[in-house]
Amino acid sequence: MRRLIKFQQIGLRRLTGARLQAVRDDQAANGAPAAFSPDSERSKLHPERPTSALGGSAGWGDALVEVPWQMYRAYGDVQILQASWESMVKFAEYALTCAHDLRHPSRIARRPEPASHEIYIWDAPFHFGEWLEPKRRRADGTIIEPTMDELMTTMSADRGEVGTAYLYRSLFTLARIARILHRRFDADRYTMLAEQVRDAWNIEFLRQDGRTAEDSQASYVRAPGRAAPRIAQPLQQGRRDPLSPRIHCRRPPGSRVRGLGLVPRGPDPVT
């Protein structure tokens, strides 16, 4: 049984590594990954296509950083991080450039002159948004399927809250990876950028009462860094208020709140 498990682990590692190499191979010169890999459409050779922006969506393109990190956590192989370093940096710089240079049309309409923190708000050119949240339901419990018009509106909506939270996560993770690879300058730089993105998210999407702009379950779980304790405080104090129904899980005993979710109490297994 142990041999079988070990064989399966080796096979999974090779498969994941091969897929990750395909993602790196399909990455465009500007750092954006393809929408899928292996990419038979060779999207990186046709950046003019509208679909070329799909792969750079937050929570999708971030796999360039998250998958090598999780593989390292699983196998402890620094070579995984070394092999992916260049592609991780290219994606992070792509996302930072989008945040700096682009603004969602709805944000321009609300505030024609951008605020100083908006250079860290990643809301364009496109994000899928949170696709794992439950669909809306009617009073009888049946699911409300969106019409084509609603679907187009949803696809073009401002997903800056999601995108900026993921940008924080990728930059924070990249800083940790840089420390492991003894890249002190990069570690300091991405730590600083992660903090600036977190502060921008707090300004733009966190209200004074501790609720997020979207006020949805996923937005509270996804909140970056120090925003999480402010959001979770009503739950920590055991109060019933309008926030509580939106959190459909309780904190497990012996856990603490940290950015982007609940984690077990105690030191991180990887430093």
DSSP tally for the chain: helices H, then strands E: 9, 2
β-pair partners for 255: 264
Average pLDDT over residues 16-41: 85
Q: Is pLDDT at 254 greater than 80 in this prediction?
A: no
Report residue 242: phi and psi, to 5°: -60, -15
Q: Is pLDDT at 82 greater than 60 in this prediction?
A: yes
Q: Is pLDDT at 105 greater than 80 in this prediction?
A: yes
pLDDT at res. 22: 87
Average pLDDT over residues 83-87: 95
Cα 86 to Cα 27: distance, rounded to the nearest angstrom:
11
- How many other C-beta atoms can be found within 10 angstroms of the C-beta atom of residue 96? 21
Single-letter residue type at 144: I
pLDDT at res. 230: 60
Average pLDDT over residues 79-107: 95
Q: Is pLDDT at 134 greater than 90 in this prediction?
A: no
pLDDT at res. 212: 85
DSSP SS3 for 116: helix
**By the 8 A CB rule, do 107 and 43 touch?**
no
Cα 40 to Cα 36: distance, rounded to the nearest angstrom:
9
pLDDT at res. 153: 66
pLDDT at res. 11: 73
**pLDDT band, very low/low/confident/very high, at 247 (cuts 50, 70, 90):** very low
Tokens of 155: 């696809």
pLDDT at res. 149: 64
Instruction: List the chain domain ranges.
Output: 73-205
pLDDT at res. 161: 92
Which one is predicted more confidently, 140 or 197?
A: 197
Q: Is pLDDT at 59 greater than 50 in this prediction?
A: yes
pLDDT at res. 158: 84
**By the 8 A CB rule, do 164 and 156 touch?**
no
Q: Is pLDDT at 237 greater than 80 in this prediction?
A: no
Q: Mean pLDDT, the chain, as a whole number?
A: 79
**pLDDT band, very low/low/confident/very high, at 261 (cuts 50, 70, 90):** very low
Which one is predicted more confidently, 264 or 17?
A: 17
Task: Note the pTM of the prediction, 2 decimals.
Answer: 0.77
pLDDT at res. 6: 54
Burial of 258 (C-beta count, 10 Å sphere; 0-12/13-18/19+): middle
Average pLDDT over residues 193-202: 96
Burial of 11 (C-beta count, 10 Å sphere; 0-12/13-18/19+): exposed
